[in-house]
Amino acid sequence: MALIAGGLELAVADLARMIAIDTSFPPGQGYDAFADLLEPLVWPLGFATERIVVPEALWHVAGGPAAGRRTNLVATRRTGKPVCGLYFHVDTVPAAPGWRSDPLRLAREGDRLIGLGAADMKGSIAAVLLALRAAVASGVELAYDPMLLFCTDEEGGLFPGVRYLAEQGKLEGHIVNFNGSAEARIWAGCFGLFNLLVRVRGQTVHAGEGNRTGAGRNAIEGALPLLQALFELKSKVAARTSALPPPPHAGGPLAASLNIAAAHGGTSGGQVPSLVEIMLSRRYMPEERFDEALAEIRSVIDAFTARSPDLAVETDLIGHLIPVDDPGGPHWPRWQRAVGHGFGYAPEDFRKWGAASCSDFGYVQRTGMREVLLGGLGRPDRMIHSPGEHTTTGDLVALARAVLAYLAADFMPELIPETSRAGNADSDPDPLLPTETPKGANHVEL
């Protein structure tokens, strides 16, 4: 643990190099460059690496936002012990307007580490590398062989990298997902998400001819009734609430949502615009069905199309993450103790809650790997997906300590399921792991 604190500056330097590589999705063109950075960082720790590329046919949509090779990096170190996967998504959202500093250059203000992906989730990669370096340097015996999973397209992609790994049988053992919180949290699961690209096409003419009878049709102006109808649907969707337990900081139950997330159209003041592209983002509860949520939006679009015969409307599904069911399992009690050890939480501090945010691990669960441990660097004030996203040096060290404790063979060995009574199906459940599952949360149908 002392070596972790002593290695902080190297971890901060690692994080700075990661943030400097633009892996924003869309488009997701920096994945090979990120793998180029990571491989020399994990090789000295005894890991062998493999690059696994998601076939283009699975994720490409003509005219869609994704572009570039979907390169996933898997690093393994085999000693014959049970495998523990350590999962990271390497993509970030694009930098939004409003950053005071360069989002691709790590800024340090006191204990704050500021940059795009600092908390979600390149900082977690730096913390895990810090933990593994300390383990190697001090000769700590590990209970597990770590498998590092650096994956693509979690930020709303059509075919996330970890889905491909799971469906190809590349995942082993159990997995810690670092796309979560630095708080004393037990994960209860999360919503699903899909992104729908809507194109409304008119006809381009000279702007001076735009009001002449039979002239071009302004796609942006023509789409205004559709935007209004979608805005009216938004309030209807938001009235639906989930039985998933909300976070302690939430103001009420978790609710479904529909957002007009992006709109692009037109080229210059001298033309009547012939195309406007609208991206809709729909977060759906475990209690909802994906096909019904999609059909509800399409019915609004169909009604608009029927009233606007001089406009052409196209739709493409460009991203989809399915809900995550309750991910509890036999490894959670010891993971909780490790998180408590790293961050200084007492066992009674832990609470179980879900999230309206989404994860690519619904696809992993669908292949039969139901248990998913969750940790990370997220906190409500960390500006994730926003200008000023940051983590802290204290949380980076704390997460590294939690990871080292969990991997170490001498940390609470009586709770290691593979070698103790904790792995026996007849053992008593941990009192901090509520077993109730919210009504409907087991139901995921495509």
Average pLDDT value for residue range 425-435: 41
Structure confidence by residue, pLDDT tens digits, 281-325: 999 999 999 999 999 999 999 999 999 999 999 999 999 999 999
pLDDT reading at 427 higher than 50: no
Structure confidence by residue, pLDDT tens digits, 351-392: 999 999 999 999 999 999 999 999 999 999 999 999 999 999
- CATH number, domain of 175, equals 3.40.630.10
149 and 196 part of one domain: no
101 and 178 part of one domain: yes
d(CA 3, CA 420) in angstroms, rounded, equals 29
102 and 204 part of one domain: no
d(CA 119, CA 97) in angstroms, rounded, equals 18
Whole-number pLDDT of residue 12: 98
Mark residue 110 as left, alpha or beta (left: phi above 0; alpha: psi -120 to 50; beta: remaining): left
149 and 229 part of one domain: no
Last residue of a domain, one of 321, 354, 387: 321
d(CA 29, CA 19) in angstroms, rounded, equals 14
- CATH number, domain of 239, equals 3.30.70.360
Q: What is the pTM of this model?
A: 0.91
- Position 433 confidence tier, pLDDT thresholds 50, 70, 90: very low
- CA-to-CA separations, 328 to 75, 350, 369, 371, in angstroms, rounded: 26, 14, 11, 5
Structure confidence by residue, pLDDT tens digits, 98-140: 999 999 999 999 999 999 999 999 999 999 999 999 999 999 9
Give the phi and the psi of residue 37 in degrees, each rounded to 5: -70, -40
The answer to whether position 13 is within a domain reads yes
The answer to whether position 81 is within a domain reads yes
Give me the number of domains the chain comprises: 2
Name the average pLDDT for the chain.
92
392 and 311 part of one domain: no
Which of 147, 19, 165 lies closest to 84 in space, CA to CA?
Answer: 147
Task: Name 355's bridge partners.
Answer: 190
d(CA 417, CA 144) in angstroms, rounded, equals 11
88 and 227 part of one domain: no
Give the phi and the psi of residue 3 in degrees, each rounded to 5: -65, -30
Structure confidence by residue, pLDDT tens digits, 71-97: 999 999 999 999 999 999 999 999 999
Amino acid at 119: A
Contact 358, 193 (CB under 8 A): yes
Angle at 313 between CA 311 and CA 317, to 5 degrees: 170
Whole-number pLDDT of residue 216: 65
Domain that holds residue 268: 192-321
d(CA 237, CA 212) in angstroms, rounded, equals 40
The answer to whether position 242 is within a domain reads yes
Task: Name 88's bridge partners.
Answer: 150
Q: Quick one: how far is CA 232 from the chain centroid?
A: 28
Q: For residue 144, what are the contacts with CB-CB under 8 A and spacing of at least 6?
A: 81, 82, 83, 84, 173, 407
Q: Quick one: how far is CA 365 from the chain centroid?
A: 15
pLDDT reading at 422 higher than 50: no
- Position 221 confidence tier, pLDDT thresholds 50, 70, 90: very high
Whole-number pLDDT of residue 409: 98
d(CA 52, CA 26) in angstroms, rounded, equals 20
The answer to whether position 420 is within a domain reads no
15 and 163 part of one domain: yes
Token pair of 19 as six digits: 């943030």
The answer to whether position 178 is within a domain reads yes
d(CA 314, CA 92) in angstroms, rounded, equals 28
211 and 171 part of one domain: no
Which of 114, 123, 24 lies closest to 376 in space, CA to CA?
Answer: 123
Dihedral of the alpha carbons of 437, 441, 443, 446, in degrees to the nearest 10:
-150
DSSP state at residue 384: T
Q: Token match 């096409």: residue?
A: 201
Whole-number pLDDT of residue 205: 81
The answer to whether position 443 is within a domain reads no
pLDDT reading at 278 higher than 60: yes
199 and 124 part of one domain: no
**Which one has a higher pLDDT value, 49 or 435?**
49
The answer to whether position 223 is within a domain reads yes
Token pair of 78 as six digits: 């085999």
DSSP state at residue 76: E
291 and 233 part of one domain: yes
393 and 296 part of one domain: no
Residue 147: is the preceding peptide bond cis (ω within 30°)? no
203 and 101 part of one domain: no
Token pair of 315 as six digits: 């739709």
The answer to whether position 202 is within a domain reads yes
Burial code of 335-367, b = ≥16 C-beta within 10 A, e = fewer? Answer: bbbbbbbbbebeeeebebbbbbbbbbbbbbbbe
